[in-house]
């Protein structure tokens, strides 16, 4: 994917950006990930080989640079000014995707990805000072992706796939599609709770507060227009 034979800026940009997985890797970096395996968690289906290749291409294109870490092995991947400015591309693509992309199917509904996306969009300023442990159960999730825990302190939110050892303060039980569509801003959360499709158990204070922490997808506020029927047909 390197030669379009024209010097249009869209063509030149496409050489780098219009490759498989590339925008998703850039999305992770712009969301704050700097470590190899953190990026992988946001792009679970990319192979490590290919991820490394994409990161190398991004470095060659001047979109990121690497910085070695003291203490830990490996490097940090840090966006340059050029990479940070890709936020405008991510915004335009995401906004268009929210409005016009195809409907989602069962194969898109990765519960692990949803949890990973959510954990970055919990408003820590609203959380109590004491750490809170949330348990998520996806009743229709595959065996290995059925339970997740979110350990929220006012410093950070961590995702666990095994019980973290702390007492769980709030249990949330739902189907993947339910939480996914709430996350996408397609359904409001309150009716889902009221109808029991999002089933919460635990401290009633937390039950009331939790929905306010959740900031949803960055594009949740973008309205999805009705699919117009075939034009002129």
Partner DNA sequence: CGGTATCCCCCGCGATACTG
Partner DNA sequence: CAGTATCGCGGGGGATACCG
Interaction site with DNA (CB under 7 A):
1, 19-21, 35-38, 45-50, 52, 72-75
To a copy of itself, the closest distance from the beta carbon of 216 in angstroms equals: 12
2-21 footprint of a copy of itself as x/- string (CB under 8 A): -xxxxxxxxxxxxxxxxxxx
Q: How far is the CB of 48 from a copy of itself (least distance, A)?
A: 16
Phi, psi of 41, deg, nearest 5: -65, -30
Q: What's the start-to-end Cα distance of the chain, in Å? A: 37
For residue 156, the tally of other CB atoms under 10 A from its CB is: 10
What is the C-alpha to C-alpha distance for residues 192 and 177, in angstroms, rounded to an integer? 11
Among 23, 75, 159, 215, binds a copy of itself (CB under 8 A): 23
Q: Which of these ranges, 106-114, 135-143, 163-171, 198-206, lies near a copy of itself under the rule CB under 8 A? A: 106-114
Q: Which of 75, 94, 145, 158 touches a copy of itself (CB under 8 A)?
A: 94
Residue 31's DSSP bridge partners are none
Q: What is the DSSP letter of 136?
A: E
Q: How many contiguous H segments (helices) and E segments (strands) does the chain have?
A: 10, 7
Q: How far is the CB of 207 from a copy of itself (least distance, A)?
A: 26
> What span, in angstroms and rounded, lies between the C-alpha atoms of 98 and 176?
19
Q: Give the single-character DSSP code of 103.
A: P
Name which of 56 and 204 has its Cβ closer to a copy of itself.
56
User: Which value, in Å, is the radius of gyration of the alpha carbons in the chain?
Assistant: 20
Q: Give the footprint of a copy of itself on residues 38-57 (CB under 8 A).
A: 43-45
Give the whole-angstrom CA distance, residue 150 versus residue 40. 18
Selected binder of a copy of itself within 88, 143, 162, 194 (CB under 8 A) = 88
13 binds, among DNA, a copy of itself, none (CB under 5 to 8 A by kind): a copy of itself
131 scored as a contact of a copy of itself (CB under 8 A): no
Enumerate residues 157-196 that contact a copy of itself by CB under 8 A: 180, 184
């Amino acid at each position: 994917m390197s030669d379009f034979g024209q010097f249009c800026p869209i063509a030149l940009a496409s050489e780098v950006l219009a490759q498989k997985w590339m925008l998703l890797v850039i999305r992770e970096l712009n969301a704050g990930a700097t470590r190899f395996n953190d990026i992988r968690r946001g792009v679970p289906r990319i192979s490590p080989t290919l991820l490394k290749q994409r990161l190398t291409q991004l470095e060659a294109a001047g979109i990121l640079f690497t910085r070695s870490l003291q203490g830990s092995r490996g490097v940090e991947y840090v966006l340059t000014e050029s990479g940070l400015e890709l936020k405008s591309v991510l915004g335009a693509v995401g906004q268009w995707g929210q409005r016009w992309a195809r409907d989602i199917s069962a194969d898109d509904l990765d519960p692990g990805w949803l949890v990973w996306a959510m954990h970055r969009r919990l408003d820590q300023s609203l959380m109590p000072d004491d750490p809170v442990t949330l348990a998520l159960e996806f009743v229709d999730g595959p065996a290995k992706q059925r339970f997740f825990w979110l350990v929220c302190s006012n410093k950070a939110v961590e995702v666990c796939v095994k019980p973290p050892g702390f007492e769980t303060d709030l249990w949330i039980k739902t189907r993947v599609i339910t939480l996914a569509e709430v996350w996408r801003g397609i359904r409001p959360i309150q009716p889902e709770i009221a109808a029991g499709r999002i089933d919460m158990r635990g401290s009633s204070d937390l039950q009331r507060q939790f929905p306010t922490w959740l900031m949803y997808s960055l594009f949740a506020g973008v309205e999805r227009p009705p699919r117009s029927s075939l034009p002129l047909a």
